[in-house]
Amino acid sequence: MTRFRFAPIPASLPSVVPFTGPETLERRSGIPFRARLGANENGFGPSPRAVEAMIRATAGIWKYGDPDSHDLRHALAARHGVAPENVMVGEGIDGLLGLLVRLMVAPGEVVVTSDGAYPTFNYHVAGFGGRLVKVAYRGDAEDPQALAAAAHRHGARLVYLANPDNPMGSWHPGRRIEAMLDDLPETALLVLDEAYAEFAPDEAIPAIGPEDARVIRFRTFSKAYAMAGARVGYAIGPAELIAGFDRIRNHFGMNRAAQIGALAALEDRDWLAHVRAEVDAARDRIAGIGRSNGLDALPSATNFVALDTHRDGAFAGALLRALADRGVFVRMPGVAPLDRCIRVSCAPEPELAAFAEALPGALRALA
């Protein structure tokens, strides 16, 4: 019997980590990866202006970060054409998702998501006592119609949808997301994860007013802005909902240097355009590597590409391990039939060259 008595909800949960980090895998093997292509990080790097700003900020790191993220919040509001009261800055989308679930979902209430979609969201729902209901993907994309129908059947409080999608890279036109809002029950709030929006075509972004009470949107500096380690994300939603975060958030949770760096990154539009071009080229390169080895690339509006092995999850999992043995870290979706694919992050050419070198041998080892 343990000497520690956990509260009922965490006591009922298994000890899990949504993602095993590459550092953990390296410690287990004792060999560093040559190519880090599994976490959808942006290896093209942050804006040099952001790096310089963060270096300058280190001299003042003895200060807490601004608990209101005032400067960054106002800059984000101006960028998106909303009021500062419509924006909440937090510790990445992951941290903000946890706060949203805590704010909106009572124990036992239903949250609808897709089977195979972002597992960290599910982790928060379980951690705060919500009840997950999952629907299947349709054609390698999340199914807005099925999600809305499930929300009606189960009286859902939250409905999660990522557009563009992780792990498949697929996307829906913005008008389809707008139509989905009309299909939701009045009790449900759409959680629209737009982590990869900067890589998506313009038509993928829905036209949604900030005071639309049916939806809250999430963006991040982890992907296109290449600041995953800084943990900066933000939500855009109705002012009344955004104000609710102040009831429960960690008011001094934002790193001061990260706040300053994110503001500088936001202002450097030329670097963002450079990164988009690099990602476009890298997607083509990954598709070509896959095609040369009998794997087909699924269309992607993200900074990764899902390569279809045309086999099953057991084969894809074995391929991941064979690539890891050759110093290449990639990941795969966790649910069939999505798990027939491996997911490869866009990266600079030396890392993609390492993948191109390792893939043929890894496939031969499984023949």
In 3D space, the residue among 196, 194, 204 whose CA is nearest the CA of residue 225 turns out to be 196
Query: According to the model, what pLDDT value does residue 2 have?
Result: 66
Domain boundary among 205, 232, 267: 267
The answer to whether the CB of 311 falls within 8 A of the CB of 302 is: no
Residue 45 falls in which region: left (phi positive, over 0), alpha (psi -120 to 50) or beta = left
Q: In terms of domains, do 167 and 60 share one?
A: yes
Tell me whether residue 12 is in a domain: no
CATH number at residue 178: 3.40.640.10
Give Dmax (Cα) for the chain. 59
Query: According to the model, what pLDDT value does residue 200 have?
Result: 97
For 118-128, how does the pLDDT look when each residue is reduced to its tens digit (9 = 90+)?
999 999 999 99
Q: Read off the pLDDT of each residue in 26-50 and give the average, rounded to a whole number.
A: 96
Q: In terms of domains, do 219 and 116 share one?
A: yes
Q: In terms of domains, do 211 and 177 share one?
A: yes
Q: Which of 13-17, 59-63, 214-218 has the lowest mean pLDDT?
A: 13-17
Report whether pLDDT(1) > 60: no
Query: According to the model, what pLDDT value does residue 360 have?
Result: 98
CATH number at residue 347: 3.90.1150.10
- Residues present in the chain in total: 367
Q: In terms of domains, do 72 and 172 share one?
A: yes
Confidence class for position 18, pLDDT limits 50, 70, 90: confident
Domain boundary among 234, 267, 300: 267
Q: In terms of domains, do 32 and 53 share one?
A: no
Q: In terms of domains, do 129 and 174 share one?
A: yes
* Element of type H or E holding 13: none
Q: Read off the pLDDT of each residue in 193-204 and give the average, rounded to a whole number.
A: 97
H-only helix segments in 35-141:
48-57, 70-80, 92-104, 119-127
Q: In terms of domains, do 283 and 180 share one?
A: no
Predicted TM-score (pTM) of this structure: 0.96
Q: Read off the pLDDT of each residue in 184-195 and give the average, rounded to a whole number.
A: 97
Q: In terms of domains, do 23 and 41 share one?
A: yes
* Number of folded domains that form the chain: 2
The whole-chain average pLDDT of the chain stands at 97
Tell me whether residue 104 is in a domain: yes
For 282-331, how does the pLDDT look when each residue is reduced to its tens digit (9 = 90+)?
999 999 999 999 999 999 999 999 999 999 999 999 999 999 999 999 99
* Element of type H or E holding 349: helix 349-366
Query: According to the model, what pLDDT value does residue 17 have?
Result: 82
Q: In terms of domains, do 226 and 102 share one?
A: yes
Tell me whether residue 151 is in a domain: yes
Per the structure, the complete domain to which residue 151 belongs is given by: 48-267
Domain boundary among 202, 234, 267: 267
Q: Read off the pLDDT of each residue in 240-247 and give the average, rounded to a whole number.
A: 98
Which positions ≥6 away from 229 have C-beta within 8 Å? Answer: none
Q: In terms of domains, do 214 and 66 share one?
A: yes
Tell me whether residue 10 is in a domain: no
Q: What is the dihedral of CA 169, 290, 347, 40, to 10 degrees?
A: 30
In angstroms, the CA 339 to CA 192 distance is 23
Tell me whether residue 7 is in a domain: no
Cis peptide bond prior to 173, omega within 30° of 0: no
